[in-house]
Each structure stands twice: as C-alpha cells, then as structure tokens.
Amino acid sequence: MKKEVEHEAILFVGEDPESAELLKRLAPSMRERIRIVNVNGLRGWLYVEYGTSRTPLLVTESRVVTGLQEILDFLGESLRDF
C-alpha cells in the first residue's frame, strides 16, 4: 500500500499565463512538498474559501499568497522554514 505524502502547501492553478509560468519554474523538490490543484470549475469555491479566485494561489498553514511574483518571493523567503 502506497503511503500518502503529507504536503506542506496547496497550489491552486488555472489556465492563465501566470499559473503556467509558475509551474514551469517550480523546482521538482518543491513539487514534492506542494499539492497542485487545477481549479477550472472551482473558482466560485476558491472565492468563498479564500476571498479570491485569482490564480496562481498558494495556501500554507499560516498564509494565502496570490500571483506569480508574490508566490516566488514567498517561496524564496520561506525555503529555510517551508
């Protein structure tokens, strides 16, 4: 039986250019730590749950970060703790 990996964050992505660019730039080691969810069809739920339907959207235990550059900055600052 395969053990389920415990992810440290959830990355919601759409079909927008920022989501595509983030997925290209996300290192394989980070992909193992982040669950990636395609939100097509879930944008209404995203807005209700997190107050925005903008993607990409990164959710951690303590933060919600939106936008390509903001997420890259957050991951860069948080790599030692994340």
Structure confidence at residue 54 (pLDDT): 92
SS in 3 state form for the chain? CCCCCCCCEEEEECCCHHHHHHHHHCCHHHHCCEEEEECCCCHHHHHHHHCCCCCCEEECCCCEEECHHHHHHHHHHHCCCC
Return the closest-CA partner of residue 36 out of 54, 14, 16, 17.
14
Q: Which overall architecture, per CATH, does domain 9-77 show?
A: 3-Layer(aba) Sandwich (3.40)
Distance CA 23, CA 43 (A): 19
* pLDDT score for 3: 56
Q: What is the pLDDT of residues 43-67, one digit of tens each?
A: 888 999 999 999 999 999 999 999 9
Closest CA to 58 of 67, 48, 49: 67
**Residue boundaries of the structural domains of the chain:** 9-77
pLDDT band at 79 (very low <50, low <70, confident <90, very high): low
Q: What is the mean pLDDT of residues 33-50?
A: 90
